Structure 1
């Protein structure tokens, strides 16, 4: 009798791991189904992405940001000033089969850098169309683009005085009803506007004014990329914070604890 009890207990013990293993298998299946149903999440999980870029996802929220802007795999998308290719690593696989990605890259050293980036993965980036800005912008057919995206670049336009002409290009290439999605470092509205010329931060009202002057209508904003820890008053502007850390090792732990900048996420539309 004791021997039978021992056998029963052993059998039950052997059977116990099966339940969590089955649940784990079902969890993987659910995850796979979710990824298949969410092409942006699938593209964000692309093996072509570099680990250093993946590590910044908690600050840049690519899945939520692209969803907010309404990007889909069937669209023609222009990314203005992709530079190091952070978002290209996601947009290229997302748009590769059914859509089109146009990289509108300002001329200069970053143009060569971006060419080098594309060459690192010809299997992943072979369908990205690189267009030098401004000299070749006219090669993009007017009214042919579904979405224009630019990440942390409007402050550079403001500092160089090129915002009006650049936004005019955005407006021209977009279809009626097309979307302009902008992410940039946010300057509190009560700060001196002169800071927009050297800090890397911009007021939301400034970006709205630039976009609306170009003909865009404001759709809305999202707090996806907000960071309340960022006071936007750093000695070397936004570059004080990660990922640049312009002070080097000085107060590095302090700035890393704050994280990347507080960012506005704004959505505009070209009127129908």
Structure 2
């Protein structure tokens, strides 16, 4: 009986400590978000960074690989949130993929060839005094020493172009191989992706228009060895109802199809950012 009471007491204490720890992490993340630039905070209503990162179980002290960090919208959050014991690994497209877009000139390509050193150097200032470290690589060329170092991987709006050009060089396959290799056993993959309705044509939903189907993403992740854990409606937007003549970049923040049409622009701004699936996967132990 004494043993049973002790076990119950210990279990209760552990649960209480976990709750306290979770609340502290949530408060820390909220503080980091409150310190973000005003133009970044303007996107919170569409991107829900607090709820998204908590759903993906991102915690201070982790090593997190972020695919396609771009201008650093999420990197600016991750570096101070993960803290001095954490680390961010940025991952970008292979340089072989960029010419396939058709709009990057030779000068830009030459400048971007040094991204793996340029990005960490420029992003370091976002970390603050006690922020995480940062390194980077390009898909298909992950350094051996990075294998099984990440606790989590974030694929936020990162899969559509990889899928679009898969037939031109196996770029999605190379990226997902790197994602699997960089993760520790038991590590999490968080996917946020523009979602095509199930009734849309498969060729339209192949990535070129920005959208992918949920079933395609789940099947592809399973193909590369990940277990599907669950989904969330955090980033769902039912106002986004594209036709097969639409592209995702018609919506904010790009608004690429309405720059000369104020009336259409207002309609698209009212839709908001795209409807996005939010999926969680795990690398088996």
1:209-252 CA-partner distances (Å, limit 9, x unpaired):
11000000000000000001000227441011111101214200
Note the C-alpha offset of 1:43.
Answer: 1.8
Query: Where does residue 9 of structure 2 map in the other structure?
Result: none
Q: How does 1:55-204 map to 2 (within 5 A)?
A: 55-108=42-95, 115=118, 119=122, 122=125, 124=127, 127-134=132-139, 136-161=141-166, 162-197=171-206, 198-204=208-214
Tell me if 1:264 matches 2:247.
Answer: no
Q: State the superposition RMSD in angstroms.
A: 2.4
Note the C-alpha offset of 1:53.
Answer: 1.3
In 2, Cα distance between equivalents of 1:132 and 1:52: 28
CA distance 1:111–1:81, shift in 2 (3 Å): farther
| C-alpha contact 1:35 1:41 (8 A) present in aligned 2 | no
Moved more, 110-119 or 122-131: 110-119
Note the C-alpha offset of 1:141.
Answer: 2.5
Give aligned pairs, total. Answer: 237
Tell me if 1:39 matches 2:28.
Answer: yes
CA distance 1:228–1:112, shift in 2 (3 Å): farther
Equivalent position SS for 1:211: helix
Note the C-alpha offset of 1:98.
Answer: 2.4
Q: Give the alignment's TM-score, normalised by structure 1.
A: 0.80
Query: Where does residue 4 of structure 2 map in the other structure?
Result: none
Q: Gaps spanning 5+ residues in structure 2: where?
A: 1-22, 96-107
1:69-90 CA-partner distances (Å, limit 9, x unpaired):
0000021111011011010110
Q: Gaps spanning 5+ residues in structure 1: where?
A: 1-33
Q: Give the alignment's TM-score, normalised by structure 2.
A: 0.76
Query: Where does residue 226 of structure 1 map in the other structure?
Result: 236
Report which of the two structures shows the higher radius of gyration computed on alpha carbons.
1
CA distance 1:219–1:253, shift in 2 (3 Å): same
